Amino acid sequence: MRRTGESARTRVAVVATVVMTVGLGLAPVRAAASAQIRSEHPLYSFAGPNGAGPLSGVSVGPGGVLYGSTVFGGLYGGGCVFALTPDGSRYTERLLFSFNGTDGAKPAGKVVAGPHGELFGATSLGGTHDAGTVFELVPSKSGYTEMVLYSFTGYSDGQEPIGAPAMDPEGDIFGVTQFGGASGEGVVFEVEPSPGGYTEKVLHSFADDTGQPQAGLTRSNDGTLYGTLYGFSEVNQDGSVFSVRLRRTGPVYADVYNFRGGTDGANPYAALTVDSSGVIYGTTEYGGGVGSAGTVFSLTPSGRGYQESVLHAFTRRSAGVLPEAPLLRTTTGALFGTADIGGQGCSGIGCGTVFELEPAGSSYAFRVVYRFAGPPSDGAEPQWSGVVQETSGDLVGTTRSGGRSHTCSDGGPGGVLGCGTVYRITS
């Protein structure tokens, strides 16, 4: 299962090793972009019963309302879906739904808003067979009502879905599971509306030597689905990028790029970003060269394949290491992302950073936008949460730990406590 429940001590032992390694890395080749003054404002600190561990970031809805999920906390401890509504200079949280197990548990990614105010998402556990669910929250005057659209059985249909749903205009929902399928290594699935409710269809079942998905799918403008495999298997140790094209004759699965574990990066851990021209952007948790701890990469269509380019390799702890979140690409072509640890604070391990890659001719200029400081007021460990952009241009995201509350023991780097935060970065 994805590392949603690992202990703080285990996490710290791993990241301390990485920090010692990257401290010996080489300086980045590209110069930093010209400095811009940016400030961070924690919008909300979770406390447990109102949610804990917002791992997957937020979505921006009408009126600037922020929607998200937490993997812990809620009324029953199985996680929840929340909304943050602007109220003058502050935000008011509303608990939209708390999972109790039979209706799902441990939301597995960001919730996605539908055209009529409904919210779609997935849980990695719970449901009829405790193998995860795909759900919908339907708004009403009295609140939200949950509908379980599909409960996975844990067999050929998949087990433990991960990541935010990818949806098409017809209301079909696409995603991946970490386990289940023909070889137990997960599937690519589609949940589509039918006269009797929703029906699940397996589009691809991963073989036992391909590795496992650890992030959701991205749907491009032409309807192609793109995803990543982390690379747990002996054959595919360093991970890969794949595509699924939906044709009338059936889905067509293809390998887009296989990482080699050297300067090109290793072990992609986040969902991908695809622009209108078909260029794919993503991050790897490791690789990038000697002393590196992760990369930002692009895959550009070239002939019948793709050309990979490393846009940045993380080599300095002060700039952040272990990028595990999806990238935001703005209309100017800039890329924003987060690094799990590094920066400052958190017992020298670093509480994580927000970074930007700005187009500079044929390359990109890297700079740190913000370094998290941790408690008593700031968040720590953005982990799998990237940032989204509001209409004002401000960036909004979440941290797994930190904040004002000390009631959560599933701490961040350096043993930092706190149930997590929602934050805004303004320029």
In the predicted model, is pLDDT for residue 28 greater than 60? no
Bigger pLDDT: 10 or 331? Answer: 331
Mean pLDDT of 155-182: 96
Write the single-letter amino acid at 14. Answer: V
What are the pLDDT digits (tens) for 221-272?
999 999 999 987 777 889 999 999 999 999 999 999 999 999 999 999 999 9
In the predicted model, is pLDDT for residue 12 greater than 60? no
**Cα 19 from chain centroid (whole Å):** 22
Bigger pLDDT: 297 or 407? Answer: 297
**Cα 51 from chain centroid (whole Å):** 18
Beta bridge mates, 381: none
Domains annotated on the chain, with CATH: 3-426 (2.130.10.10)
Length of the chain: 427
Report the distance separating Cα 329 and Cα 388, nearest Å. Answer: 9
Closest C-alpha to 368, from 289, 325, 290, 314: 314
Q: Which position has the token pair 């285990």?
A: 10
Q: ω into residue 62 within 30 of 0, thus cis?
A: no
pLDDT at residue number 5: 44
What are the pLDDT digits (tens) for 393-410?
999 999 999 999 888 876
pLDDT at residue number 266: 95
In the predicted model, is pLDDT for residue 58 greater than 80? yes
pLDDT at residue number 15: 43
What are the pLDDT digits (tens) for 79-119?
999 999 998 778 999 999 999 999 999 999 999 998 888 99
Q: Do residues 364 and 311 make contact, with C-beta atoms less than 8 angstroms apart?
A: yes
pLDDT at residue number 236: 82
Band the pLDDT of 273: cuts 50, 70, 90. very high
pLDDT at residue number 34: 40
Q: How big is the chain by its Cα radius of gyration, in Å?
A: 20
SS3 344: coil
